[in-house]
């Protein structure tokens, strides 16, 4: 209104031109790093904390000594944020070249074509000799290898010897039946009460889906098969959750007490003397328990069926390469180094679990706990069966639902029947996605 028509047209043209220039500059920025034969830059992402970040720095420095022409941009986040970011990136082909990867996402990402088929590189760029066949199989989805496991862990029963000593109780010997273990927990809780200490024998094991899986495997079944079909029905689940009744009636630590210390577990907080979990949790336990505790005990979990191969080795993490990488050869070099190099073993110790590759294991100086874990994994070798099918899409949320229902059972807000119904409803939703 204030200005003439011509002036207005002029300003409109300027505005359009300016927008165009902006867009052009932006485009130029996008194609900047193409067509260079010299140094190659790879993006590498992992989840972890400051401690692990320093270990990776050391590992990448060792890699650069061998491959000075490959520059590695390292990026890291906490576990949930890491996956949030990957989920968004995967929509636009923006995934990092090499990734530390979690087993539970392997199926989803590989079935969506986001990961590089490592098959042609096995034995070529990736040295497979030092890795057990069974462990290599872990990274296979629908007959194609998409990931290499860095390390493995197995299900175990951790105990806190110092805590047991303080209440004058003997540790659980390992094995035995689930009832034996329940009785031992009750006895330990009683002993603690007699000693006047607010300590408990253990946590309700029916809160963890892995214990359910263990019992199913012992009976020749599984949680989910490759087609995503469950290997159990309502009655199986009901029977399992009913085993937890003695714990909820006072044998184990009250759920309310556990809520107070969450996100730490009862075992982390020195209020329970035993916990069933993955064997790579040991270092974390010691860290969270603090300086007063230096020793842990690990024994095999209770046996459901004598002679059954119910335990298995799970990858604590894998390494994968994104399908859209511009430098697959170099990415393979990096992956191979991270999986096999003894220098990497030296940098990490067992931070990522017990190294799966023998050459990498050679670089690891096994301390007290690490040696114990290695011994443990050797001791259970005749109970080790084939790994289960790669987790179905949505397994993570089912595992979490299982945990939440376990908490509700512990708090007494749902009955076992209601719990079973809730879980099956959730499972329907996840399986039919």
Partner 1 sequence: MTATTAARPIGTRRQPTRKRVATIVWAVALTLLTLLVLYPLVWLVFSTFKPSSEFGSNPGLFPESPTLQNYVKVAEGIGGTPLWRFFGNSLLIASIAVVGTLISSSMAAYAFARIRFKGVGVFFAAMIGTLLLPFHVLIIPQYIVFQKLGLIDTYVPLLIGKFLAVEAFFVFLMVQFIRGLPRELDEAARIDGAGHIRTFVSIILPLIKPALITSAIFSFIWTWNDFLGPLLYITSPEKYPLPIALRLYNDATSTSDYGATVAVSMLALVPILLFFIVFQRFLVAGVATQGLKG
Query: Which is nearest to 57 in space by CA: 70, 44, 69?
Result: 44
Alpha helices per DSSP H over 195-268:
209-218, 234-242, 245-246, 255-261
Q: Which is nearer to partner 1, 33 or 173 (CB)?
A: 33
Q: Is 264 in the site for partner 1 (CB under 8 A)?
A: yes
Residue of 75, 144, 256, 415 interacting with partner 1 (CB under 8 A): 75
Q: In what order do the strands lie in the sheet with 274-278?
A: 274-278, 155-159, 297-299
Strand partners, 43: 73
Query: Are 127 and 287 a contacting pair, CB within 8 Å?
Result: no
Shortest distance, position 377 Cβ to partner 1, whole Å: 18
Q: 25-64 mask for partner 1 (x: CB under 8 A)?
A: -xx-xxxx----------x-x-xxxxxxxx-xx-------
Q: Which is nearer to partner 1, 8 or 179 (CB)?
A: 8
Q: Which helix (H) or strand (E) holds 179?
A: helix 178-194
Cβ atoms within 10 A of the Cβ of 314, count? 21
Q: Is 300 in the site for partner 1 (CB under 8 A)?
A: no
DSSP secondary structure of 146-171: -EEEEEEE-EEEEE-HHHHHHTT-PP
By CB under 8 A, the residues from 204 to 263 that bind partner 1 are 260-261, 263
How far, in Å, CA of 426 to CA of 84, rounded?
Answer: 22
Residue of 84, 173, 233, 242 interacting with partner 1 (CB under 8 A): 84
Q: Is 76 in the site for partner 1 (CB under 8 A)?
A: yes
Shortest distance, position 400 Cβ to partner 1, whole Å: 12
DSSP-derived 3-state class of residue 369? helix
Q: Which two tokens stand for residue 425?
A: 């409803």
Q: Interacting stretch for partner 1, rule CB under 8 A, among 118-126, 176-184, 289-297, 304-312?
A: 289-297
Shortest distance, position 279 Cβ to partner 1, whole Å: 13
Strand partners, 151: 317, 355
Q: Is 307 in the site for partner 1 (CB under 8 A)?
A: no
Residue of 270, 313, 323, 344 interacting with partner 1 (CB under 8 A): 270
Cβ atoms within 10 A of the Cβ of 68, count? 9
Q: How many residues bind partner 1 (CB under 8 A)?
A: 56
Query: Which is nearest to 42 in space by CA: 321, 317, 338?
Result: 321
Q: 86-105 mask for partner 1 (x: CB under 8 A)?
A: --xx-xxxx-x---------
Strand partners, 40: 70
Shortest distance, position 351 Cβ to partner 1, whole Å: 7
DSSP-derived 3-state class of residue 27? helix
Shortest distance, position 341 Cβ to partner 1, whole Å: 20
Q: 144-173 mask for partner 1 (x: CB under 8 A)?
A: ------------------------------
Shortest distance, position 45 Cβ to partner 1, whole Å: 8
Using CB under 8 A as the criterion, which residues of the chain lie in contact with partner 1 when the complex forms? 1-3, 26-27, 29-32, 43, 45, 47-54, 56-57, 73-81, 84-85, 88-89, 91-94, 96, 260-261, 263-264, 268-271, 283-284, 287-292, 351
């Amino acid at each position: 209104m204030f200005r003439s028509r011509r002036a207005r047209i002029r300003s409109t043209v300027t505005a359009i031109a300016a927008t165009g220039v902006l867009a052009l500059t932006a485009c130029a920025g996008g194609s900047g790093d193409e067509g260079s034969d010299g140094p190659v830059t790879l993006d590498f992402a992992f989840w972890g904390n400051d401690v692990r970040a320093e270990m990776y720095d050391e590992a990448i420095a060792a890699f650069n000594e061998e491959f000075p022409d490959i520059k590695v941009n390292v990026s890291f986040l906490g576990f949930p944020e890491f996956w949030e970011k990957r989920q968004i990136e995967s929509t636009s082909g923006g995934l990092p070249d090499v990734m530390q990867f979690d087993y539970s996402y392997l199926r989803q990402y590989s079935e969506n074509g986001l990961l590089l088929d490592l098959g042609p590189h096995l034995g070529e760029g990736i040295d497979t000799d030092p890795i057990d066949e069974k462990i290599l199989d872990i990274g296979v989805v629908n007959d194609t290898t998409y990931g290499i496991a860095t390390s493995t862990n197995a299900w175990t029963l951790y105990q806190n010897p110092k805590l047991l000593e303080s209440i004058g109780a003997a540790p659980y010997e390992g094995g035995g039946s689930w009832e034996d273990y329940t009785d031992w927990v009750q006895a330990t809780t009683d002993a603690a009460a007699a000693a006047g200490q607010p300590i408990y024998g253990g946590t309700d094991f029916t809160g963890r889906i892995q214990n359910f899986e263990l019992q199913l495997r012992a009976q020749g079944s599984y949680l989910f098969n490759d087609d995503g079909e469950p290997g159990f029905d309502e009655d199986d689940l009901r029977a399992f959750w009913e085993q937890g009744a003695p714990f909820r009636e006072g044998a184990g630590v009250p759920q309310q007490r556990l809520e107070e210390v969450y996100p730490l577990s009862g075992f982390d907080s020195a209020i329970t003397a035993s916990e069933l979990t993955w064997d790579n949790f040991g270092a974390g336990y010691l860290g969270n328990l603090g300086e007063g505790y230096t020793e842990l005990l690990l024994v095999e979990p209770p046996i459901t069926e004598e002679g059954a191969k119910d335990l298995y080795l799970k990858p604590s993490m894998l390494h994968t390469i994104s399908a859209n990488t511009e430098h697959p050869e170099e990415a393979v070099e990096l992956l191979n180094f991270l999986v096999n190099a003894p220098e990497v073993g030296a940098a990490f110790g067992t931070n990522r679990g017990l190294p799966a590759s023998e050459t990498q294991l050679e670089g690891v100086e096994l301390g007290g706990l690490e040696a114990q874990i290695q011994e443990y994994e050797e001791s259970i070798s005749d109970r080790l069966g084939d790994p289960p099918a790669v987790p179905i899409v949505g397994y993570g949320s089912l595992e979490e639902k299982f945990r939440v229902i376990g908490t509700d059972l512990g708090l007494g807000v749902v009955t076992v029947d209601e719990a079973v119904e809730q879980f099956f409803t959730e499972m329907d939703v996840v399986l039919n996605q």
